[in-house]
């Protein structure tokens, strides 16, 4: 039952209005839906989506029940024969019963900690009632809720609120996936925002009583986001209220329901005692992301789910811009590239590779991926680079003008760029349709005698085959290049080269002396760049490049080259260790940047880099090499690191602002290295004295790595045992920081605890995701990591298929390992595939992964 992009066909009916009434009860909620429909052209059979758990109580058309012979029901839909429908506008009313208390999949209407809430993207609404559950069917919604819960929320503006009853009206036509309902014992942190054109908006962050003191940062993040979208994109909010709700059970991060954003509580609740700097940054970014969807996603939505990147890629790009403006732009860019490589390059390299706009899926929830989101955002960045900032601004204005209120496609998106800038984007479109990471090679020719010193850069591009796509024509690749002269000065500021052919050369004249090339500045395209460059020149770039990304990248390359050499039994080479020391000591550089440079590439990242070069990664050798290099760096720079550790202490009360967080990040990077040579003594002291969760968790991590974490773990548990979000950290850090040979045993022990509430997605992810993040632990040669994970995926699949399918990506790299590991991973995958009642979600994932065998 695969879905294909090519099969798109508009819905044969137009929906003018949706009216819903909910009589809430935990195990027997009744939903009455009245849909004002009219045939688009000739009357056809009316097909409504509706899941198995939706029990039909009654159905009528314009107040009369149709002949039962004209109504057909199967597990996924309800069909009313054309013969029973008028050739004119009509009202279809259904009454159904659903059981939110039995909903462990957290899709549709469910209960989390006593709060009724919904998650409808992508196809959850069909578990609430019968409906054309597709994004191109849009209507205004009027919703009434009857319940004894004190707070009753839905989309839009409140019409009437009284005891046990609420009525909401959302005038903006929307697809069902943006519907939301929340009912619970909630309290609000409230504020106000006045839009540029004078609309006064009531803002509320709804949390459980007692959590108010952890919701203030979320509110401030919302206000900043609203202002930023007005200032930078000219986008204003369009309702009288904006509500946000935090719930504990949530499959993903958050959801942009119109006027009623719902969040995983870990992306709302924060206090210095419970949240880390990274948590704060993430909260600010995700709140912005969901808010920005109001225009890129809600006012303009997607025609079908193949176009998911239309809203997600663009909204990720926008939240990245926002964070860059709120914090340090260079640091944000480096972080984003780092995640892109860790998650998306990894995905692109294996059996789950797919285009940014897929053409086929079985279960759309399996396509909320790093490729659709993060690579989707990179494509927007490339477009902006190609058409320039002004071209981008006018294309976006045109997009909002032309498509407001519509369900659009990638073709529509590219057309606004073509029309606004005159640029032909036919070749660019391949970035959306072709999967895989292009490999770009660069060689240099230097001719001192020609034209006052001529440098020629020769590029070739090649994209390896991905599942279903063997042959990839060349793409347009923006390559930002600068040149650094022998004395360290920039002799050529950034120039954007546009590569359109499989091989292409570019020249620079009048250079005098041979420069060092700074290539792919700002990571101007999501490609793997191969160039022959020695460690001496890498160290030169690390010292002198004016582009912060390229500078960091030079350090990264140096580290990688040292690691590769160590992993193959060679030596570390002095260049990396020297260069990293100079950078760490550079008082003029941003502490956050220095911290990023001190962070060695992770084991997964090293494995991905090796595999991209055609080598077979050995998880144990990689682990050993990385430990070895970290110790060498620590030994070589012990004094400097100790000084940094002390100097970067942030005095005074904790503040999550970017400058304070930057100092802490450098302090923690120093601690992580010193921890290899001080037996964990500094970490011990820090754990006992830290006044914030950032340093406390960093210290705990170090202590576990030194095998002396027990007392600290106990202390954390004693103090925060009743705080779910802190306990999630407590679970994950133990598995992540465990020595690889112990990781599965630690995970097994933790999984047996009574407080391992596995049905809670955060808790499950903490443990299983923690193991997957322990590269050499998950990939234990005896297959124990694979078996442990497979057992839990099978168990989870019965309760929550989305989470099981998502966590199954732990296996996505299996084909790149040695034969012993491959055999064990494959048999674990086959065991999952053979499960009798496997969900469509998990089945699609494992069969795609098995197909690579």
The set of catalytic residues is 290
The rounded distance, in Å, linking the Cα atoms of 50 and 123 is: 10
Q: Which does 264 bind (CB under 5 to 8 A by kind): Zn ion, ligand ARG, none?
A: none
DSSP 17: E
* Residue 319 binds ligand ARG, judged by CB under 6 A: no
Handedness of CA 12, 22, 156, 291 (dihedral sign): negative
Which positions from 275 to 294 touch ligand ARG by CB under 6 A, shown as an x/- string? --------------xx----
CB closer to Zn ion, 254 vs 533: 254
Question: Considering beta carbons, is residue 167 or 312 the nearer one to Zn ion?
Answer: 312
Is 109 one of the binding residues for ligand ARG (CB under 6 A)? no
Please state the closest distance from residue 18 (CB atom) to Zn ion, in A. Answer: 23
Q: Which is nearer to ligand ARG, 127 or 696 (CB)?
A: 127
Question: At its nearest, how many Å lie between Zn ion and the CB of residue 400?
Answer: 18
Inter-residue contact 548 to 333 (CB < 8 Å): yes
Q: Which of 217, 237, 368, 523 binds ligand ARG (CB under 6 A)?
A: 368
- Supply the DSSP string of 604-653, one letter for each residue: HHHHHHHHHTT----HHHHHHHHHHHHHHHHHHTHHHHHHHHHHT---SS
CA 547 to chain centre: 26
Q: Is 516 strand, coil or helix?
A: strand
What angle (nearest 5°) sits at the alpha carbon of residue 597, between those of residues 592 and 600?
125
Q: Does residue number 296 form part of the binding site for ligand ARG (CB under 6 A)?
A: no
Q: What x-and-dash track marks residues 196-235 binding ligand ARG by CB under 6 A?
A: ----------------------------------------
Q: Which is nearer to ligand ARG, 251 or 675 (CB)?
A: 251
Closest approach, Cβ 365 to ligand ARG, in A, equals 4
Phi-psi category of 200—alpha, beta or left, where left has phi over 0 and alpha has psi -120 to 50? beta
Residue 204 or 264 having the CB closest to ligand ARG: 264
Residue 557 binds which of Zn ion, ligand ARG, none (CB < 5-8 A, kind-dependent): none
Q: Does position 128 bind ligand ARG by CB under 6 A?
A: no
Should residue 254 be labelled a site residue for ligand ARG when binding is judged by CB under 6 A?
yes
Q: Which CB sits closer to ligand ARG, 477 or 842? A: 842
Nearer to ligand ARG, 105 or 612 (CB): 105
Look at residue 365 and give the partner it binds from Zn ion, ligand ARG, none, a contact being a CB closer than 5 to 8 Å depending on partner kind: ligand ARG
CA 646 remoteness from chain centre:
34
CB under 5 A: which stretch of 309-317, 320-328, 565-573, 841-849 binds Zn ion? 309-317
Q: Does 133 contact ligand ARG by CB under 6 A?
A: no
Task: Out of 178, 181, 252, 747, point to the residue binding ligand ARG (CB under 6 A).
Answer: 252
Q: Is 309 in the site for ligand ARG (CB under 6 A)?
A: no
By CB under 6 A, what part of segment 792-851 binds ligand ARG?
A: 802
CA-wise closest residue to 795 among 824, 770, 754, 831: 831
Give the C-alpha separation, 793 to 401, whole Å.
46
Strand order in the sheet with 254-255: 187-194, 200-207, 241-247, 260-264, 254-255
As a whole number of angstroms, the distance between CA 454 and CA 435 comes to 36
For the chain, what percentages of helix, strand and coil (3-state, to nearest 5) are there? Answer: 45, 20, 30
Determine if 365 is a binding residue for ligand ARG (CB under 6 A): yes
* CB contact at 8 A, 181 and 22: yes
Number of residues that bind Zn ion (CB under 5 A): 2
Per the listing, tokens 């005074």 go with 652
Tokens of 281: 């940054």
Task: Report if residue 255 touches ligand ARG, rule: CB under 6 A.
Answer: yes
Nearest distance in Å: CB 759, ligand ARG: 16
Q: Please, what is the end-to-end C-alpha distance for the chain in angstroms?
A: 23
Which range touches ligand ARG (CB under 6 A), out of 249-257, 266-274, 338-346, 751-759?
A: 249-257
- Smallest gap from Cβ 178 to Zn ion, in A, equals 12
Interface residues for Zn ion in 97-126 (CB under 5 A)? none
Min separation Cβ 363 and ligand ARG, Å: 10
Angular region, 97: left φ>0, alpha ψ -120 to 50, beta rest: beta
| Distance between CA atoms of residues 852 and 350, nearest Å | 8
Q: Which does 252 bind (CB under 5 to 8 A by kind): Zn ion, ligand ARG, none?
A: ligand ARG
User: Residue 43, interface with ligand ARG (CB under 6 A)?
Assistant: no
User: What 3-state class would DSSP assign to 714?
Assistant: helix
Yes or no: say if 97 and 55 are a contact pair by the CB < 8 Å rule: yes
Contact 349, 437 (CB under 8 A): yes
Residue 572 tokens, joined: 């570390």
Span near ligand ARG by CB under 6 A; candidates 195-203, 252-260, 565-573, 620-628: 252-260
* From 128-136, 251-259, 600-608, 626-634, span contacting ligand ARG (CB under 6 A): 251-259
Q: Give the C-alpha separation, 588 to 583, whole Å.
A: 10
- The residues of the shown chain that bind ligand ARG, judged by CB under 6 A, are 121-122, 251-256, 289-290, 312, 365, 368, 802
Q: Which residues bind Zn ion (CB under 5 A)?
A: 312, 315
């Amino acid at each position: 039952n695969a879905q294909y992009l090519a099969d798109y066909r508009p819905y044969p009916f137009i929906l003018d209005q949706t009216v819903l009434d909910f009589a809430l009860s935990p195990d027997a909620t009744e939903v009455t839906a009245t849909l004002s429909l009219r045939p688009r052209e000739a009357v056809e059979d009316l097909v409504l989506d509706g899941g198995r758990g939706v029990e039909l109580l009654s159905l009528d058309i314009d107040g009369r029940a149709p002949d039962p012979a004209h109504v057909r029901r199967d597990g996924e839909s309800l069909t009313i024969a054309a013969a029973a429908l008028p050739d004119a506008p009509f009202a279809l009313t259904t009454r159904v019963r659903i059981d939110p208390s039995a909903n462990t999949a957290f899709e549709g209407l469910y209960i989390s900690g006593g709060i009724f809430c919904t998650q409808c993207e992508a196809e959850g609404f069909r578990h609430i009632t019968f409906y054309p559950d597709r994004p191109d069917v849009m209507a205004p919604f009027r919703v009434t809720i009857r319940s004894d819960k004190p707070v009753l929320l839905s989309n839009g503006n409140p019409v009437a609120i009284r005891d046990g009853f609420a009525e909401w009206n959302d005038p903006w036509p929307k697809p069902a996936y943006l519907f939301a309902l929340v009912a619970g014992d909630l309290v609000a942190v409230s504020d106000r925002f006045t839009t540029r054109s004078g609309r006064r908006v009531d803002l509320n962050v709804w949390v459980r009583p007692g959590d108010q003191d952890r919701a203030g940062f979320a509110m401030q993040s919302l206000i900043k986001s609203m202002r930023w979208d007005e200032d930078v994109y000219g986008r204003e909010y369009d309702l009288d209220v904006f509500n946000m709700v935090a719930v504990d059970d949530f499959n993903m991060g958050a959801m942009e329901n119109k006027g009623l954003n719902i969040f995983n509580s870990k992306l709302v609740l924060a206090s210095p005692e419970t949240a880390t700097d990274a948590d704060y940054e993430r909260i600010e970014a995700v709140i912005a992301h969901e808010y920005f969807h109001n225009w890129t996603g809600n006012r303009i939505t997607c025609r079908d789910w193949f176009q998911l990147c239309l809203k997600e890629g663009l909204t990720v790009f926008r939240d990245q811009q926002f964070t860059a403006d709120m914090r340090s732009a260079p640091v944000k860019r480096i972080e984003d590239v780092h995640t892109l490589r860790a998650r998306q390059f990894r995905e692109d390299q294996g059996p789950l590779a797919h285009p940014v706009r897929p053409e086929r899926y079985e279960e759309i929830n399996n396509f909320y991926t790093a490729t659709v989101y993060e690579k989707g955002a990179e494509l927007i960045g490339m477009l902006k680079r190609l058409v320039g900032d002004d071209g981008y601004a006018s294309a976006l204005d045109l997009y909002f003008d032309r498509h407001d209120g519509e369900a659009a496609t990638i073709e529509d998106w590219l057309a606004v760029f073509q029309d606004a800038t005159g640029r032909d984007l036919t070749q660019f479109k391949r970035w959306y349709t072709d999967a895989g990471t292009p490999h770009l090679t660069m060689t240099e020719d230097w001719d001192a005698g020609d034209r006052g010193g001529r440098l020629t850069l020769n590029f070739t591009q090649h994209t390896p085959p991905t599942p279903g796509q063997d042959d990839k024509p060349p793409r347009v690749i923006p390559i930002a290049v600068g040149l650094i002269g022998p004395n360290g000065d920039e002799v050529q500021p950034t120039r954007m080269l546009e590569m359109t052919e499989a091989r292409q050369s570019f020249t620079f004249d009048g250079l005098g002396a041979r420069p060092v090339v700074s290539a792919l500045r700002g990571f101007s395209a999501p490609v793997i760049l191969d160039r022959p460059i020695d460690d001496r020149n890498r160290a030169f770039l690390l010292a002198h490049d004016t582009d912060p990304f390229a500078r960091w990248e030079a350090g990264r390359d140096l580290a990688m080259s040292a690691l590769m050499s160590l992993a193959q039994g060679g030596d570390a080479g002095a260049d990396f260790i020297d260069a990293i020391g100079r950078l760490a000591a550079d008082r003029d550089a941003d502490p956050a940047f220095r911290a990023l440079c001190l962070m060695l590439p992770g084991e997964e990242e090293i494995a991905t880099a090796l595999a991209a070069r055609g080598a077979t990664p050995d998880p144990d050798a990689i682990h050993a090499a990385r430990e070895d290099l970290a110790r060498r760096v620590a030994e070589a720079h012990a004094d400097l690191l100790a000084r940094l550790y002390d100097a970067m202490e942030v005095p005074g009360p904790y503040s999550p602002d970017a400058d304070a967080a930057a100092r802490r990040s450098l302090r923690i990077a120093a601690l992580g290295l010193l921890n290899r040579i001080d037996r964990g003594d500094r970490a011990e002291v820090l754990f006992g004295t830290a006044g914030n969760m950032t340093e406390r968790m960093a210290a705990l991590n170090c202590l576990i790595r030194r095998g002396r974490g027990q007392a600290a773990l106990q202390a954390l548990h004693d103090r925060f045992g009743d705080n779910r979000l802190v306990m999630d950290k407590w679970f994950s850090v133990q598995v992540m920081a465990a020595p690889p040979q112990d990781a599965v045993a630690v995970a097994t022990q933790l999984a047996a605890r009574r407080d391992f509430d596995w049905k809670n997605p955060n808790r499950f992810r903490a443990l299983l995701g923690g193991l997957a993040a322990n590269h050499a632990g998950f990939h234990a040669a005896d297959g124990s990591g694979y078996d442990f994970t497979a057992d839990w995926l099978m168990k989870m699949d019965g309760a929550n298929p989305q989470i099981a399918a998502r966590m199954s990506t732990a296996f996505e790299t299996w084909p790149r390992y040695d034969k012993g590991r491959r055999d064990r991973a494959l048999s674990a995958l086959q065991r999952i595939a053979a499960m009798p009642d496997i969900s469509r979600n998990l089945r699609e994932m494992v069969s795609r992964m098995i197909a690579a065998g």
